Structure 1
Amino acid sequence: MVHTYWQIGRLIIEQEQQGEQRAAYGKQQLEQLASRLTGEFGKGFDVTNLRNMRRFYQAFPIRETVSTELSWSHYNQLARLEDPAARHWYQQEAIQQHWSVRALERQIGTLYYERLLSSREKAPVETEAQANTLPLADNPKDYLRDPYILDFLNLETSRYQEADLERGIIQNLQQFLLEMGKGFAFVERQQRIRTDDGDYYIDLVFYNYLLKCFVLIDLKLNKLSHQDVGQMDMYVRLYEEQKRSPDDNPTIGLILCSEHNHTVAQYSVLKDSQQLFASRYLTILPSEEELQRELERERRNIEQQIKEQRGEYRIVQQPSQLSGSV
């Protein structure tokens, strides 16, 4: 079906439209074509579907790039994406991660690709977004995103506790793993770490088989605090001592909070750590415009941090009221 619809899309462009990307004929001609194909081959060739086939070919003009590992419904979703880099990335992820059509639709709707780009501290982001592929390096930052969209938990705004958040994640574990991204496997909830001074409990423990390391998650309802960072730092150190095997890479600690604290992020061990991270979560799916604004803000912050690290920033002096100002 995939290759048949691709061929029909090609014939519409090359024969019916004489190679033009936009049709020179109106809806009536497309209706006539739909009537002819329906009469000869049966259902599946109405005007709407023919438009989808035409768009499919326009999005994937090279036949070798079309994989039968994905269904026609997958490609119908992918063809709607205007950004070729995003389209290619979603296609490869859907194949590798065996996404259902519903999963692909949700990942596109929550701007998975854009959030991943925004959370990776590599500049310039625009240049990387134009690449045909988006490979992941063996860097924890490449596997973590900000924000995480947890709308599938169906939690009432400001009326839930940390236990409700944790319970909702466990009850919707498959969707949470999909939101987490590549290579994550669930290990345990409220895992106990024993010490001479008492027991400590880690909210959620995962293992990433691509990074080959444990990932500890601490859930916080409020704005990120330095106490949260200190607590996760202790958890990671304890886990390194008690749980990590010689074959594992260093343990990662991820604090999921409802609100960022840029001061804490800038002036705590979070800033330069390769093991401690903090991300925001949203329990209500924002609009695409809101997500785009948030991603743009995060991107500017990342680019500014990179410029400061490279010494490329400039100090812009405000006009002075004194004479002789520089």
Structure 2
Amino acid sequence: MAKKKENVPAKAVESLFNKVSNLIEQARVRVATAMNVAEVYTKYQIGRYIVEEEQSGNKRAEYGKQVLEGLSERLTARYGDGWSYSNLRQVRQFFLVYGNLTISDCQISNPPDFTLSWTHYLVLMRIKNADERRFYEIEATSGNWSVRELQRQYGSSLYERLALSRDKEQVARLSRVGNVVEKPEDIIKNPVTLEFVGLKPDASYSESNLESAIIGKLQEFLLELGKGFLFEARQKRFSFDEDDYYVDLVLYNRLLQCYVLVDLKVDKLTHQDLGQMQMYVNYYDRYVKQDFEKPTIGILLCKEKKDTLVKLTLPEDANIYASAYELYLPDKKLLQAKVKEWVNEFESTNATRTVNSFSQSPIF
């Protein structure tokens, strides 16, 4: 008599399946990442060989073109598409950019540590400013940005907007370590770019329309705000003295370990708006915040802000910030010029201080 087959518990199968499935997915991600990095290192070395060959040629420009055309034909014949003359020129340029070289350099450096895909580096190579390029490379790596997200952040001038929102001494830090979130000021951008919500800048819309548009593009909104943001609620109600109050958006930043309250204003900022946000922040600090959490941050996103009004209305230690928002991508060249002016002014001030300090030093 055949032995009756026991029924396998569905929960046991489901649990084991999830564990094995997660392991396979993680392995696939590691393999894909390894393949992407291997491709980048390979193309870096190919670019190195091309530059070394060009350096040995007499008529460099014409010689280099003929060599690349011939190399393209041979590689395409053996390995298929992907080795066109224009692609090899990109590979050559990649080595010149990331090897910190010019065509006349004789010394070839060791390759840097590559962390992104080749398609990411095709975007990064177009950024001429080395500090800005390094910033986007760090942020794309730490934030696990897709190529599309990298293009969007560069197109929205993230580097310039952060630089103009920082103390001048912190601008250079962006290119060394990226945007490190350690204090409330580190999450502030001016302006906040909301082109993805789909509202037309010249059209009439209400705060409710803006809020609904943001909720509809919540992932993009949180990415625009920066690192560590989590969404908790919209139109969050709290009550005291028999009155109800509503916060437009309640977020939490896990890096700062604090609540972030956002109020949306479609008109220019007023002192009443600031006073209302102060009340919201006070309520959360006194009745919602846990002992281990940091003080609540208030952000007013407004069509037009006035820094002087904020300083006069709020105490110096207020954890409340006003940021303008725009429904279109900013003028990158204009922002770049502002950052350059900002940095030059800072460097000029430092140089003057150094000279004055030296001239006042006693001579022995």
Whether the TM-score (by the shorter chain) exceeds 0.5 is yes
Structure 1 residues 19 and 27, CA gap change in structure 2 (3 angstroms): closer
Whether the 8 Å CA contact 1:13–1:19 is kept in 2: the answer is: no
Aligned equivalents of 2:56 and 2:219: distance in 1? 47
For the pair 1:6 / 2:44, whether they are aligned, the reply is yes
Task: Identify unmatched segments of 5+ residues in structure 2.
Answer: 1-38, 100-109, 354-364
- Asked if 2 retains the 8 angstrom alpha-carbon contact of 1:215 and 1:254, the reply is yes
Give the partner amino acid of 2:294.
Answer: N
Shift of 1:192: 0.9
Distance 1:294 1:172 in 2: 30
Correspondence list, 1:113-192, <5 A: 113-123=159-169, 125=171, 127-128=172-173, 132-134=176-178, 136=180, 138-156=182-200, 157-192=202-237
Give, in whole Å, the separation in 2 of the partners of 1:283 and 1:250: 30
Cα distance per residue 1:268-319 (max 9 Å; x no partner): 216x33510000000022332344456568x49x97xx99xx9xxxxxxxxx
In structure 2, the CA distance between the partners of 1:88 and 1:289, relative to structure 1 (3 Å rule), is closer
In structure 2, distance between residues paired with 1:19 and 1:215: 61
Change (3 A) 1:28 1:215: same
**Aligned partners of 2:57 and 2:318: how far apart in 1?**
52
Larger Rg: 2
- Asked if structure 2 preserves the Cα contact closer than 8 Å seen for 1:17 and 1:23, the reply is no
Cα 1:142–1:274, aligned 2, differ >3 Å: closer, same or farther?
Answer: farther
Q: Secondary structure at the match of 2:128?
A: coil
Given the two structures, how large is their TM-score scaled by the length of structure 2?
A: 0.75
Aligned to 2:11: none
Aligned identity (percent) is 43
Q: Residues 84-99 of structure 1: matches in 2 within 5 Å? A: 84-99=130-145
Conservation of the 8 A alpha-carbon contact between 2:123 and 2:151:
yes
Q: Deviations over 1:182-226 (max 9, x none)?
A: 111111111111112311110011111111111100000011111
Q: Relative to structure 1, is the Cα distance of residues 102 and 119 closer, same or farther in structure 2, using a 3 angstrom cutoff?
A: same
CA distance in 2 between counterparts of 1:296 and 1:221 reads: 31
* Equivalent-residue separation in structure 2 for 1:86 and 1:192 (angstroms): 42
**Structure with more helix by fraction:** 2
1:66 to 104, 110, 114: 114
User: In 2, distance between residues paired with 1:191 and 1:78?
Assistant: 41
Following the alignment from structure 1 to structure 2, what is the Cα–Cα distance between the partners of residues 133 and 273?
A: 27
Instruction: Check the 8 A contact 2:258/2:297 in 1, yes or no.
Output: yes
Structure 1: how far apart are the matches of 2:337 and 2:221? 24
1:134 offset after TM fit, Å?
3.5
- Which residue, out of 75, 80, 102, partners 2:148? 102
Deviation at 1:28, TM superposition (A): 4.1
Map of 1:1-326 to 2, 5 A cutoff?
A: 1-18=39-56, 23=61, 25=63, 27-61=65-99, 62-67=110-115, 70-123=116-169, 125=171, 127-128=172-173, 132-134=176-178, 136=180, 138-156=182-200, 157-269=202-314, 272-292=316-336, 299=342
Q: Residues of 1 paired with 2:322 and 2:224: CA distance?
A: 16
Do the aligned partners of residues 39 and 16 (structure 1) sit closer, same or farther apart at CA in structure 2, a change above 3 Å counting?
Answer: farther
How far apart in 2 are the matches of 1:274 and 1:15? 62
TM-score under structure 1 normalisation? Answer: 0.83
Q: Structure 2 CA distance, aligned partners of 1:107 and 1:18?
A: 40
After superposition, the C-alpha distances for 1:115-167 in whole angstroms (9 at most, x for unaligned) are: 11111124374x546x5333525211112111011000110223111111111
SS at match of 2:148: helix
Structure 1 CA distance for aligned equivalents of residues 167 and 53 of structure 2: 47
